[in-house]
């Protein structure tokens, strides 16, 4: 009986955390507004673009906090010179975060 109570409490805590976490996704801590994919992409790019030249080198990427989310620089589709261009990143990010994604 004690195991059942513990399992029930654990399940309740897990579901509550899951619901609370998803309520804040895409918002500023649930403060009544959200950000578009464009705004988020621009924010993330600016966090990587240390010298504000609209290009991100692999060194800039590695020095940024984006390495917590993107493990491989090549996933950002750098150009032939090995740089991620701002417009290409914005397009890639918006496509990946489109609300028209097929449901799996």
**Are 58 and 52 in contact, with CB atoms under 8 Å apart?**
no
Q: Is residue 27 part of a domain?
A: no
Across the range 92-103, mean pLDDT stands at 75
Question: Looking at residue 36, what is its pLDDT?
Answer: 87
Q: H-type helices in 24-82, by residue range?
A: 37-48, 58-63
| DSSP secondary structure code for residue 98 in this structure | -
**Residue 89 lies inside a defined structural domain of this protein:** yes
Measured distance CA(70)–CA(62) in Å, rounded: 10
Give tens-digit pLDDT for 20-54: 443 444 555 555 657 888 999 999 999 999 999 99
Compute the distance between CA of residue 69 and CA of residue 71 in angstroms, rounded to an integer.
6
- 35-50 burial, b if ≥16 CB within 10 A, otherwise e? eebeebbbebbeebbe
Assigned domain for 60 exists? yes
Range of the domain at 68: 35-98
- Is residue 91 in a domain? yes
Number of domains in the chain: 1
Q: Is residue 25 part of a domain?
A: no
pLDDT of residue 49: 97
The pLDDT assigned to 13 comes to 40
Q: Tell me which DSSP letter residue 27 carries.
A: B
pTM score of the predicted model: 0.63
């Amino acid at each position: 009986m004690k195991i059942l109570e513990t399992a029930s409490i654990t399940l309740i805590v897990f579901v509550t955390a899951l619901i609370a976490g998803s309520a804040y996704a895409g918002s500023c801590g649930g403060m009544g507004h959200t950000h578009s994919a464009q705004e988020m992409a621009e924010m993330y790019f600016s966090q990587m673009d240390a010298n504000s030249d609209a290009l991100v080198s692999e060194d800039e990427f590695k020095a940024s906090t984006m390495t917590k989310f993107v493990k491989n620089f090549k996933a950002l589709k750098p150009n032939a010179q090995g740089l991620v261009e701002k417009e290409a990143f914005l397009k890639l990010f918006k496509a990946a975060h489109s609300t028209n994604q097929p449901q799996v």
